[in-house]
């Protein structure tokens, strides 16, 4: 019927755009990663899979395993991301829970305040911490009241990086968790209490399991971008000690003559993330289908 | 102590006591008690989240050159200082105007593109709809760095039209920003579409409107809050965007405020004017969001939308 | 009273072996119906019986897998919903929230190329017809459920459709408003003369409003007839049970002669005066509660009497429902008008006889699953 082509027609411009600027560039990365390098040290993309040169990709994969050149970056990334997720959960879940279920009249105000950091640029927020963590900044001063000596927070300190990552990404964790908790029907919890479960038991056996999908969504939502983060590290820690995979990629590509390796590293990064991404896509698609039905 | 009860014709049954004893003291298990600990955590979190930003804003009014030690109040970094203040420093004003220009362009392109895509995707039932849907989700789930590198390579290494027509610079920046913004528009509009449901269009068709007419006269008027909300999201995303914008830039005039912040935040010679320019960005974004929120609230009340108080908020942050 | 909407005649609907299959479910299984012009026709059945799907096929929102739909002789097979002279009152009313009441009612006339002045006039008249003239400038969310329903009605009727489809329009309303609207809808239909096809699961609604009813079950039509016909002479066990309460007893049909069919219930032989008199073997007998008489055991009048004991008596205001456990083991319900005697007359445990007059006892082939 003519209807079908109407809907398809509406979607065409968007699809074409995405094809041009997502699919083709994605293949370009692959082509460069499996490509060659010319005499001017510029990468030469190889489009035909039959002519692929696996040298750079091999080098990249070799680099991220223990003992490789980029192993410390990989290890840092895994550690920092893990620590950040744990912190985001420890801080963010109780906050989301309180706002979603217990805040009563102050809910509107709290929502406003919780959502506010979204609209503040990430870099502005990092800038704020640079000011506070400076050697003569207020963090050191306050710590001084408790007798803690002056620490150089901004020079290669992994705790600063983890704290900054947590600070930067936690709103993105709280949002889906809040949404999930808000959606839980209060009557389910009332039923559990009615049947004899204490508050703690109700939480553990009803609320937590029901909010699990949203916790997962929040985790995926922060882990994915964190794997490509290089600017947090650059801003909060000037030292290559705390480099993450994102820094490695950034240095290779924008550094100048190692774009092939950079592209290969992007592939490695994406492979590591493939599991998480596929899960998220599948889950979102499933929910979209359910909403459509 | 349990009670027993008898009913005619049945054996005696032992029942549990009326009130089960608890091992916790009464004040802890009081069902009407306030959740003190959680409330405290929440407010402490809010303070932790917002105070540093407020401090940074405050430092933009610092009297001295320091961004970490308060030296008194002054507006020198805003307009006072003839060379280094925000409004007199061409580096800063150029960055501001570039940021705004990109944001407006991205908004104007991504919103209609995403809107049409959203409607098309939500009704498209044929072949390819699944892949198109998947494609739309890719920018959302890819680290921005990967997308930036991909676009960078395409615009610098690819000798195929139309890519050769684009060099690094404003055009490339706009293209990059639109590419990841489109997905947000789609999600917001589709979520609203799902809320609206198919029945209004069916009613319109039933009353004689063709597909196009029901789209134009019924669906669109009901969707415009979502369109407005998504336009604003694109604007905010664009203003605050860093990675793609930096990779697509060609230096100098294509520097945006986030790029400026990145380059200068750690510098010893940087003045609080940097804080000032960052503050301007925050204020612009907040004004935009605030306006959108007010418009959505007014519209919601006027047409009796069945949304909770946080409905407009939900539109703006894309929660379903 | 002069009607605001003059009908151009027509509105005869024919469904020929209409079928709709979804993936693995056959929602509508070869239905054939004829609705006369100007009739108030109901599709009655439990949820999932296919009545809404049938309605949507007539409206044009579902495409039949097989079969034909004819409106005044014209096939609707390739006609999209906006081109059919059929309008729907949706279950949720679907009033456009961004338009006020008057604009909602006037909506469809725009596509019929009616000039603006006339659109407003006709819309106002339609609102007068449903007695909502004063609310023309309000928004839908400011109206009560009953008022919204009337706006939806006006919106559809103003377009002078040949057939008006109503999809459980009274479902979302309180009992009292529902009863009131039933009468109003019925008189509206009589006044306006349009064919109404009304979908409902509420048998009281269907019985009180319809000229004819089609009782549907599992995608098929079990019976079509006037309210009296389907109630008094149910063609199948399902129809008997769905409309009102039915006492169904397992029986064995033995023989028949001019005055009816002899059936055996337990050790008793009864005469069934109506139904499938020619059937033999496993069967069911059906009788309505209000036709059963309950008399003290000593007084039994002879034919078609079954002894038993009062199990329980329930007082529901206008009548008493007396449940009697027969010696055959089955429990039947008799409905006795409340003459003020009180419950003690039919107290629990009292031995009684239940008399099922032959002309009200119906025999149907096939046995019931339960009593």
pLDDT, one tens digit per residue, over B14-41 is 777 777 777 777 666 666 666 788 888 8
- B124/A95 touch (CB, cutoff 8 Å), yes or no: no
- B207/C139 touch (CB, cutoff 8 Å), yes or no: no
Cβ atoms < 10 Å from Cβ of C50: 25
A222: Cβ contacts below 8 Å, ≥ 6 apart: A84, A85, A88, A169, A170, A172, A173
- A179/B143 touch (CB, cutoff 8 Å), yes or no: no
**Residue A80 burial by CB count (10 A; 0-12/13-18/19+): exposed, middle or buried?**
buried
**A63 pLDDT more than 80:** yes
Q: Say how far apart CA C213 and CA C243 lie, in whole Å.
A: 11
Q: Which of C66, C67, C123, C61 is nearest to C86 (CA)?
A: C61
Report DSSP state, residue C279. Answer: -
* Matching residue, tokens 């390819």: B128
DSSP string of C89-140, one letter each residue: E-TT----TTS-HHHHHHGGGGGGT--HHHHHHHHHHHHHHTT-GGGTTS-G
- B202/C94 touch (CB, cutoff 8 Å), yes or no: yes
Residue A109 token pair: 């105000």
Which architecture characterizes domain B88-317 according to CATH? Orthogonal Bundle (1.10)
**A117 pLDDT more than 60:** yes
**B303 pLDDT more than 80:** no
pLDDT, one tens digit per residue, over B173-191 is 999 999 999 999 999 899 8
- Indicate if the alpha-carbon torsion angle A105, A108, A111, A112 is positive or negative: negative
**Residue B306 burial by CB count (10 A; 0-12/13-18/19+): exposed, middle or buried?**
exposed
The pLDDT score that the predictor gives to residue C368 is 56
Cβ atoms < 10 Å from Cβ of C190: 12
Nearest CB among B69, B146, B286 relative to A266 is that of B146
Q: How far is the alpha carbon of B12 from chain A, nearest alpha carbon, in Å? A: 23
- Place A289 in a pLDDT band, splitting at 50, 70 and 90: confident
Packing angle, helices A122-133 and A138-145, rounded to 10:
50
Contact B143, A269 (CB under 8 A): yes
Q: Say how far apart CA C207 and CA C194 lie, in whole Å.
A: 19
Report the chain B residue with the minimal C-alpha distance to residue A293: B194
DSSP string of C306-338, one letter each residue: EEEEEEEEEE-SSEEEEEEEETTS-EEEEEEE-
Domain regions of chain C by residue span: 13-237, 245-365
The pLDDT score that the predictor gives to residue C219 is 92
Contact B151, A21 (CB under 8 A): yes
Report the chain C residue with the minimal C-alpha distance to residue B304: C141
DSSP string of C217-233, one letter each residue: ETTEEEEEE-HHHHHHS
**B316 pLDDT more than 80:** no
Region B60-65: what's the mean pLDDT? 84
Q: Which residue has the higher pLDDT, B308 or B143?
A: B143
- B153/A154 touch (CB, cutoff 8 Å), yes or no: no
Region B193-205: what's the mean pLDDT? 90
The pLDDT score that the predictor gives to residue C8 is 45
Q: Say how far apart CA B263 and CA A237 lie, in whole Å.
A: 14
- B132/A4 touch (CB, cutoff 8 Å), yes or no: no
Q: Say how far apart CA C14 and CA A117 lie, in whole Å.
A: 63
Q: Which residue has the higher pLDDT, B316 or A135?
A: A135
The pLDDT score that the predictor gives to residue A146 is 83
- B205/C92 touch (CB, cutoff 8 Å), yes or no: no
The pLDDT score that the predictor gives to residue B47 is 94
For chains A and B, count residue pairs whose Cβ atoms are closer than 8 Å.
288
Region B277-298: what's the mean pLDDT? 86
Nearest CB among A17, A42, A132 relative to B52 is that of A132
The pLDDT score that the predictor gives to residue B2 is 47
Residue A15 token pair: 């699809």
Residue C190 token pair: 């009589």
Burial state string for A173-203 with b = 16 or more CB within 10 A and e = fewer than 16: bbbbbbbbbbebeeeebeebeeeebebeebb
pLDDT, one tens digit per residue, over A264-273 is 999 988 888 8
Nearest CB among C139, C140, C159 relative to B207 is that of C159
Q: Say how far apart CA A215 and CA B190 lie, in whole Å.
A: 23
Contact A126, A168 (CB under 8 A): yes
- Place A210 in a pLDDT band, splitting at 50, 70 and 90: confident
The pLDDT score that the predictor gives to residue C329 is 86
Lowest-confidence region among A245-249, B302-306, C133-137, C303-307: B302-306
pLDDT, one tens digit per residue, over B106-142 is 999 999 999 999 988 888 777 777 888 888 888 888 8
Residues of A in contact with B175 (CB under 8 A): 21
CATH 3.40.605.10 fits C245-365, yes or no: no
**A1 pLDDT more than 60:** no
Nearest CB among C86, C94, C110 relative to B203 is that of C94
Region B92-104: what's the mean pLDDT? 93
Domain regions of chain B by residue span: 35-74, 88-317
Q: Which of C256, C319, C328 is nearest to C288 (CA)?
A: C319
**Residue C26 burial by CB count (10 A; 0-12/13-18/19+): exposed, middle or buried?**
middle
The pLDDT score that the predictor gives to residue C371 is 35
A216 touches chain B (CB under 8 A): no
Residues of A in contact with B257 (CB under 8 A): 121
- C82/B221 touch (CB, cutoff 8 Å), yes or no: no
Q: Which of A172, A43, A225, A78 is nearest to B146 (CA)?
A: A225
Mutate: best of A106, A124, A132, A243, partner B, most B CBs <10 A? A124
Q: How far is the alpha carbon of B1 from chain C, nearest alpha carbon, in Å? A: 37
Q: How far is the alpha carbon of C237 from chain B, nearest alpha carbon, in Å? A: 36
Q: Say how far apart CA C311 and CA C219 lie, in whole Å.
A: 38
Q: Say how far apart CA A217 and CA A198 lie, in whole Å.
A: 28
The pLDDT score that the predictor gives to residue B74 is 81
Chains sharing 3 or more CB pairs under 8 A with chain B: A, C
The pLDDT score that the predictor gives to residue C5 is 38
- B210/C111 touch (CB, cutoff 8 Å), yes or no: yes
Q: Say how far apart CA B262 and CA C125 lie, in whole Å.
A: 68
- CB-facing half-sphere around the CA of C10: CA atoms within 13 A: 11
In a structure prediction context, what are the per-residue pLDDT tens digits for chain C, which is 371 residues long?
Answer: 333 334 445 789 999 999 999 888 899 999 999 999 999 999 999 998 899 999 999 998 889 999 999 998 889 888 888 888 999 999 888 999 888 999 999 998 988 888 999 999 999 999 998 889 899 999 999 999 889 999 999 999 999 899 999 999 988 888 888 888 899 999 999 988 999 999 999 999 999 999 999 999 999 999 999 999 999 889 888 998 898 888 988 888 888 888 888 888 888 888 888 888 888 888 889 999 999 888 887 776 678 888 889 988 888 888 889 999 998 888 999 998 888 776 666 788 888 888 888 888 998 887 655 43
Residue B260 token pair: 């400026």
Which architecture characterizes domain A71-255 according to CATH? Orthogonal Bundle (1.10)
Mutate: best of A2, A7, A225, partner B, most B CBs <10 A? A7
- C159/B208 touch (CB, cutoff 8 Å), yes or no: yes
Q: How far is the alpha carbon of A15 from chain B, nearest alpha carbon, in Å? A: 7
- C111/B206 touch (CB, cutoff 8 Å), yes or no: no
Mutate: best of B23, B28, B32, B49, partner A, most A CBs <10 A? B49
Residue C236 token pair: 């199948």
**Residue C208 burial by CB count (10 A; 0-12/13-18/19+): exposed, middle or buried?**
middle
- Place B1 in a pLDDT band, splitting at 50, 70 and 90: very low
Residues of B in contact with A20 (CB under 8 A): 162
Q: Say how far apart CA B125 and CA A287 lie, in whole Å.
A: 17
The pLDDT score that the predictor gives to residue B106 is 96
Q: Say how far apart CA A248 and CA A241 lie, in whole Å.
A: 12
Residues of B in contact with C113 (CB under 8 A): none
Q: Which of B232, B274, B200, B15 is nearest to B106 (CA)?
A: B232
Mean per-residue pLDDT over chain A, rounded: 85
Q: Work out the angle at residue A219's Cα, subtended by the Cα atoms of residues B151 and B292, and round it to the nearest 5 degrees.
A: 70
Phi, psi (degrees; rounded to nearest 5) at C362 = -115, 135
The pLDDT score that the predictor gives to residue A217 is 86
- B206/C59 touch (CB, cutoff 8 Å), yes or no: yes
The pLDDT score that the predictor gives to residue C343 is 64
- Place A67 in a pLDDT band, splitting at 50, 70 and 90: confident
Predicted ipTM of the assembly: 0.86
Report DSSP state, residue A150. Answer: P
Report the chain A residue with the minimal C-alpha distance to residue B114: A14
Region A159-184: what's the mean pLDDT? 92
Mean per-residue pLDDT over chain B, rounded: 83
A279 touches chain B (CB under 8 A): no
Enumerate the H helices of C158-284 as residue ranges. 175-192, 203-209, 227-232, 237-242
Q: Which of C290, C278, C282, C277 is nearest to C265 (CA)?
A: C282
Region A48-54: what's the mean pLDDT? 82
Contact A76, A230 (CB under 8 A): no
Report the chain A residue with the minimal C-alpha distance to residue B126: A4
Residues of A in contact with B151 (CB under 8 A): 21, 25
Rounded to the nearest angstrom, the gap between the alpha carbon of residue C14 and the centroid of all alpha carbons in its chain is 19
Which architecture characterizes domain C13-237 according to CATH? 3-Layer(aba) Sandwich (3.40)
- Percentage with pLDDT > 90 across chain B: 36
Region B95-100: what's the mean pLDDT? 93
- C108/B209 touch (CB, cutoff 8 Å), yes or no: yes
């Amino acid at each position: 019927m003519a209807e079908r082509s109407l809907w398809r027609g509406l979607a065409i411009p968007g699809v074409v755009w995405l094809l041009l600027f997502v699919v083709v560039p994605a293949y370009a990365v692959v082509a460069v990663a499996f490509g060659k390098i010319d005499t001017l040290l510029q990468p030469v993309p190889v489009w035909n899979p039959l002519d692929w040169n696996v040298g750079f990709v091999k080098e990249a994969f070799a680099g991220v395993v223990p003992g490789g050149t980029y192993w410390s970056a990989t290890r840092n990334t895994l550690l920092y991301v893990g620590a950040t997720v744990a912190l985001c959960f420890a801080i963010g879940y109780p906050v989301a829970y309180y706002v979603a279920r217990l805040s009563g009249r102050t809910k509107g105000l709290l929502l406003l305040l919780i959502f506010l950091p979204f609209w503040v640029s990430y870099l502005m927020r990092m800038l704020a911490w640079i000011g506070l963590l400076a050697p003569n900044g207020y963090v050191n001063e306050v710590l001084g009241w408790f007798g803690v000596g002056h620490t150089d927070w901004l020079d290669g300190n992994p705790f600063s990086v983890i704290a900054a990552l947590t600070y930067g990404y936690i709103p993105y964790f709280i949002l889906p968790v809040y949404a999930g908790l808000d959606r839980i029907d209060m009557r389910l919890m009332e039923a559990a209490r009615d049947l004899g479960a204490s508050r703690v038991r109700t939480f553990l056996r009803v609320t937590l399991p029901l909010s699990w999908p949203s916790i997962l969504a929040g985790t995926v939502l922060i882990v994915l971008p964190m794997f490509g983060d290089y600017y947090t590290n650059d801003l909060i820690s000037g030292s290559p000690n705390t480099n993450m995979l994102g820094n490695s990629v950034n240095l290779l590509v924008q550094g100048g003559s190692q774009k092939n390796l950079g592209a290969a590293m992007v592939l490695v990064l994406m492979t590591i993330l493939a599991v998480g991404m596929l899960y998220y896509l599948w889950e979102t698609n499933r929910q979209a289908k359910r909403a459509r039905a | 102590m349990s009670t027993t009860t008898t009913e005619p014709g049945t054996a005696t049954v032992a029942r549990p006591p009326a009130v089960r004893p608890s091992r916790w003291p009464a004040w802890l298990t009081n069902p009407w008690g306030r959740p003190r600990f959680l409330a405290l955590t929440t407010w402490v979190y809010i303070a932790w989240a917002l105070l540093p930003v407020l401090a940074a804003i405050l430092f933009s009014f610092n009297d001295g050159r320091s961004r970490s030690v308060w030296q008194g109040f002054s507006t020198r970094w805003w307009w006072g200082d003839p060379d280094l203040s925000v409004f007199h420093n061409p580096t800063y004003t150029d960055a501001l105007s570039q940021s705004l220009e990109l944001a407006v362009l991205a908004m104007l392109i991504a919103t209609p593109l995403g809107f049409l895509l959203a409607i098309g995707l939500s009704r498209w039932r044929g072949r390819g709809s699944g892949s198109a849907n998947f494609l739309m989700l890719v920018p959302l789930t890819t680290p921005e760095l990967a997308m930036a590198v991909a676009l960078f390579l395409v615009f610098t290494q690819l000798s195929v039209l139309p890519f050769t027509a684009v060099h690094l610079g404003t055009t490339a920046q706009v293209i990059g920003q639109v590419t990841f913004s489109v997905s947000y528009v789609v999600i917001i509009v589709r979520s609203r579409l799902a809320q609206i449901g198919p029945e209004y269009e069916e009613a319109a068709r039933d009353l004689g409107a063709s597909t196009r007419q029901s789209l134009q006269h019924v669906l669109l008027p009901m969707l415009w809050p979502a369109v407005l909300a998504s336009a604003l999201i694109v604007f905010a995303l664009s203003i605050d965007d860093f990675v793609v914008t930096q990779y697509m830039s060609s230096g100098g005039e294509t520097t945006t405020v986030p790029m400026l912040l990145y380059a200068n935040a750690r510098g010893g010679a940087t003045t609080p004017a940097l804080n000032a320019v960052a503050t301007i960005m925050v204020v612009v974004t907040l004004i935009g969001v605030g306006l959108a929120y007010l418009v959505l609230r007014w519209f919601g009340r006027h047409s009796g939308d069945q949304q909770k108080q946080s409905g407009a908020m939900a539109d703006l942050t894309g929660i379903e | 009273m002069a009607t605001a909407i003059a009908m151009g005649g027509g509105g005869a609907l024919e469904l020929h072996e209409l079928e709709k299959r979804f993936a693995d479910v056959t929602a509508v299984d070869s239905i054939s119906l004829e609705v006369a012009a100007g009739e108030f026709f109901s599709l009655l059945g439990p949820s999932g019986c296919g009545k809404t799907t049938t309605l949507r096929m007539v409206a044009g929102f579902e495409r039949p897998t097989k079969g034909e739909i004819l409106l005044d002789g014209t096939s609707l097979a390739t006609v999209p919903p906006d081109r059919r002279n059929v309008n729907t009152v949706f279950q949720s009313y679907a009033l456009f929230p961004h338009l006020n009441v008057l604009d909602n009612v006037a909506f469809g006339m725009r596509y019929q190329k009616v000039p603006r002045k006339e659109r407003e006039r006709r819309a106002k008249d339609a609102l007068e017809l449903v007695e909502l003239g004063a609310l023309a400038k309000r928004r839908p969310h400011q109206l009560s459920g009953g008022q919204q329903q009337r706006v939806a009605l006006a919106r559809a009727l103003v377009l002078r459709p040949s057939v008006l489809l109503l999809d459980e329009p009274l479902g979302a309303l309180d009992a009292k408003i529902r009863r009131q609207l039933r009468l109003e809808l019925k008189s509206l239909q009589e006044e306006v003369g349009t064919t109404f096809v009304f979908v409902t699961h509420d048998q009281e609604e269907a019985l009180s409003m319809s000229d004819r009813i089609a009782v549907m079950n599992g995608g098929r039509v079990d019976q079509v007839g006037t309210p009296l016909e389907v109630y008094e002479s149910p063609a199948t066990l399902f129809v008997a049970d769905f409309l009102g309460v039915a006492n169904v007893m397992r029986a064995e049909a033995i023989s028949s002669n001019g005055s009816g069919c002899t059936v055996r219930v337990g050790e008793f032989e009864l005469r069934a005066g109506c139904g499938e008199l020619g059937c033999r073997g496993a069967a069911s007998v059906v009788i309505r509660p209000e036709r059963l008489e309950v008399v003290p055991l000593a007084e039994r009048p002879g034919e078609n009497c079954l002894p038993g004991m009062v199990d329980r008596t329930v007082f529901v205001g206008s009548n008493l429902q007396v449940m009697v456990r027969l010696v055959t083991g089955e429990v039947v319900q008799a409905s006795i008008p409340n003459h003020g005697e009180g419950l003690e007359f039919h107290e629990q445990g009292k031995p009684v006889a239940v008399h099922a007059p032959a002309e009200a006892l119906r025999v149907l082939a096939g046995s019931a699953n339960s009593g």
